[in-house]
Structure 1
Amino acid sequence: MMNSMSIDALLETALHGSLSDEQARQLSHCEDTATLATAAATLRDRGFGSGVSYSRKVFIPLTQLCRDVCHYCTFAKTPKRIEQAYMPVEQVIEQVRQAEKLGCKEALFTLGERPELRYKAAREALAEMGFASTLEYLAHVAGRVLAETSVLPHINAGCMSEDEIALLRPVSASMGIMLESASERLCEKGMPHYGSPDKTPEARLQTLRRAGQARVPFTSGILIGIGETRAERIDSLLALRDVHREFGHLQEVIVQNFRAKEGTKMASAPEPDLDDLLWTIAVARLIFGAEMSIQAPPNLSPGVLPQIV
């Protein structure tokens, strides 16, 4: 345990400067969530006052096929469990236009990672539409949305090469990839990212760096409660801070809490409680300072929005 003077000194540093990596790591020993949250709230007010922002968006699951097998995921499906490999572009346009009438400003494109590398059904569907890859089709669909509606595409396309980022940049207002965790341990056998090549920390951080080099506004964040330690959470936040310090392109950092779901390998895994979530949000604010937008998805923690804010 840390003594109160050590905590006070760390928080004083966070409030009047910036925590070093070493200082940030010391926060993992502090279990006084209320004290951390009070300091974090001071930084929040300094950066944002009483404002809480949100985006009215329509969710576009372009494909639920994915080559990864994350043990907590219910989004990804096998070809036998879906009616079509990809949403047709006209269906996307129709949904976006309906959302536009309801005041939506953003189309959030989500999709599995490179399903054509795993599933014949994905390869055949793409070939039939005249595309060589999922991301090539995504660029076409996002381009249609941008040209035919006032809604701005935001693309969560997973790990991307420099060429793929360049392909998607002209048709999106911003992009994103959840780091989830910088811990290689979570990729080992028996852990939630085992068998998911796109979830290796270096692959995801490399995408973040490539986006920074291309000056793409980007969203990222961490997923808590999937077997990581608090120290590993801090290391993950520091990895994001390092990338942002180098390129300045992170517009938002998400702190997302794991929720156990039926039909997954982690259906009976314990979920992080509210105190654990609030602790992580506070630490994220202390690490990133007053200026960074920090999001905690309210739909994953119904009824406790005031505490999260």
Structure 2
Amino acid sequence: MQVRTITYSRNVFLPLTTVCHNICGYCSYRTPVREGCIMEPDAVRESLRLGAATGCTEALFTFGERPGEVEGFTPLLRRFGYDDILDYCYDLSKEAIEAGLLPHTNAGILTSEELERFRTVNASMGLMLETTARIPAHRESPGKDPDVRIAMIEDAGRLKIPFTTGLLIGIGETEKDRVESLETIAGIHRRYHHIQEVIIQNFCPKPDTPMGRDGTVGKEEFSETIRLARAILPDDVAVQIPPNLADAEEFIGYGVDDLGGVSPVTVDYINPEHPWPELERLREITHGYRLVERLCIYPQYIRKGWFDPALTPLIMDLDKQIQERNP
């Protein structure tokens, strides 16, 4: 009997800013414009250095969507010589490559032109769909409009960008909404074949947010969503759960293929109260399965050549390194 493989990647989490023009009812990551709301270049470089030294292969750039639309943000960013956070991220992506890490950027909604530009310095990119439902939690979040998010995921497909998306479970959507969301993602993938993984993420209530007293999904509901994802999504799309937010050891048997990026260097800045599991803990969680490290760009997209030619030497070198580390 063949042993099922569970994958993960080693990353450095780089939250370039906590400022965001969306105001989601469940978010504690977003902050006002203030001193320290932008990660300084030297701090990014130090994280990249530590990541490379500890065997990380991915630089995960994430930040609030369109922070420049929030009054007072751009003057702070100009201290570092930039008028636009995307230019800042683009240049830091190049520095990540020089440091030996593959960038993966989650920047919120981007235009097709912006995606095309970032494709030259990113091995993969991502945007959570979250839900196709229109829910109260997104009332003040124009970037969370389902149609807008679906359009960007399709743009990434047309550009052949290996892509991550996912669902946030327990934010006001119904089971019917979850099925619709998964079927929407599956349909996009069948047209463009670019979605490498779909994250099934359980909502974790945050104190001092409008939804801070709301409950989250129970174990049965969460496991059923994982089963639905594995049944609805095409076989070549991995189902991922975050091992620091859910009891992965309990849920892995319901159809989980991947445990996402974990970091030996940085915390999960969006969910800092939930530390990443160490590698030995991942081995315990996946007892009975084959645990395999991967890059942020999945093997099938490496074989297809769905990346900028300038990234070829680094992708091939890192791929060789992790093949040597895998059992």
Q: TM-score range by the shorter chain?
A: 0.7 to 0.9
Partner of 1:240: 185
Q: 1:307 aligns with which of 251, 258, 273?
A: 251
CA contact (8 A) 2:186 2:234 kept: no
Q: 1:226 aligns with which of 167, 171, 175?
A: 171
Task: Provide the C-alpha distance between the structure 1 equivalents of 2:129 and 2:64, rounded to a whole number of angstroms.
Answer: 15
Which TM-score applies when normalising by structure 2?
Answer: 0.74
Task: Provide the C-alpha distance between the structure 2 equivalents of 1:85 and 1:167, rounded to a whole number of angstroms.
Answer: 25
Q: Percent identity?
A: 37
Task: Provide the C-alpha distance between the structure 2 equivalents of 1:84 and 1:306, rounded to a whole number of angstroms.
Answer: 38
Partner of 1:55: 9
Give 1:289 deviation, angstroms. 3.7
**How do 1:1-309 residues align onto structure 2 when only pairs under 5 Å count?**
49-80=3-34, 83-120=35-72, 122-147=73-98, 149-184=99-134, 186=135, 191-302=136-247, 304-309=248-253
1:188-223 CA distances to partner (integer Å, 9 max, x unpaired)? xxx100110000001111110111111111000111
| Structure 2 runs not aligned, ≥5 long | 254-327
Which TM-score applies when normalising by structure 1?
Answer: 0.79
Task: Provide the C-alpha distance between the structure 2 equivalents of 1:110 and 1:305, rounded to a whole number of angstroms.
Answer: 27
In terms of fraction of residues, the more helix-rich structure is 1
Give 1:264 deviation, angstroms. 0.7
1:71 counterpart letter in structure 2: G
Q: What secondary structure does 2:5 align onto?
A: coil
Task: Provide the C-alpha distance between the structure 1 equivalents of 2:174 and 2:234, rounded to a whole number of angstroms.
Answer: 22
1:95 counterpart letter in structure 2: S
RMSD: 1.5
CA contact (8 A) 2:31 2:37 kept: no
- Larger deviation: 275-284 or 87-96? 87-96
1:107 counterpart letter in structure 2: A
Partner of 1:32: none
Task: Provide the C-alpha distance between the structure 2 equivalents of 1:267 and 1:233, rounded to a whole number of angstroms.
Answer: 22
In terms of fraction of residues, the more strand-rich structure is 2
Task: Provide the C-alpha distance between the structure 2 equivalents of 1:233 and 1:68, rounded to a whole number of angstroms.
Answer: 22
Q: What secondary structure does 2:137 align onto?
A: coil
Q: What secondary structure does 1:204 align onto?
A: helix
Q: What secondary structure does 1:307 align onto?
A: helix
1:301 counterpart letter in structure 2: A
| Structure 1 runs not aligned, ≥5 long | 1-44
Larger radius of gyration: 1
Task: Provide the C-alpha distance between the structure 2 equivalents of 1:58 and 1:254, rounded to a whole number of angstroms.
Answer: 18
Change (3 A) 1:289 1:244: closer
Greater length-normalized contact order (CA 8 Å, ≥ 6 residues apart): 2
Q: What secondary structure does 1:75 align onto?
A: coil
Give 1:85 deviation, angstroms. 3.3
Task: Provide the C-alpha distance between the structure 1 equivalents of 2:52 and 2:95, rounded to a whole number of angstroms.
Answer: 14
CA contact (8 A) 2:19 2:31 kept: yes
